[in-house]
Structure 1
Amino acid sequence: MHRTNFVERHWKPALAAAGITKDLSPHSARHTFASWALMEGVAPQIVQHRLGHESLETTSRRYAHLLLDAQRAAVDAIGWEPSPGT
């Protein structure tokens, strides 16, 4: 199915049925999925696979800010940060 047909036949009616009035794209749902998954601690490799990215670098570049937040949360959780190289 062509993207335009999908959006008109399925996406927009689904948004309306859910009571969503903001004009969101299917891509925004994809980005939200990836963001939420990473924020919940899903391994970046799993998110990479689910998004169909060929390389982990693609996923890491796009969502780097979330991965850094996860690293900070990990340090905060244990209250200690190892020195680089140790």
Structure 2
Amino acid sequence: MYRQVDIAAVSDGELPTVEQLLPTARDGGLLVTVDDDDRPVALVLNDWVDARAHLDQASVGPAFAGHGIGRQLMAAAEQWGRQQTRRP
């Protein structure tokens, strides 16, 4: 997708490390799948927009694409959003 809009650096870049993700994770809006060496292979980042949960980013490392990891993370993100959505 990012290559189609000429943002190849995002597409070709590696996912951030667990240490880089920790500050965001502490806010509660980050879901990460890691490999056996604790390196992130997929992530979903949620944020708040107009007092509602909002999907900000979803990424799956190319080597792990096609295994259903993204689908599972999206389902977990949807569940998280339904539980966390702030009602005005």
The normalised TM-score by structure 2 is 0.30
Answer with 1 or 2: which has the greater Rg. Answer: 1
Task: Identify the structure with bigger relative contact order (alpha carbons < 8 Å, sequence gap 6+).
Answer: 2
Between Structure 1 and Structure 2, the one with more strand by share is: 2
The normalised TM-score by structure 1 is 0.31
Between Structure 1 and Structure 2, the one with more helix by share is: 1
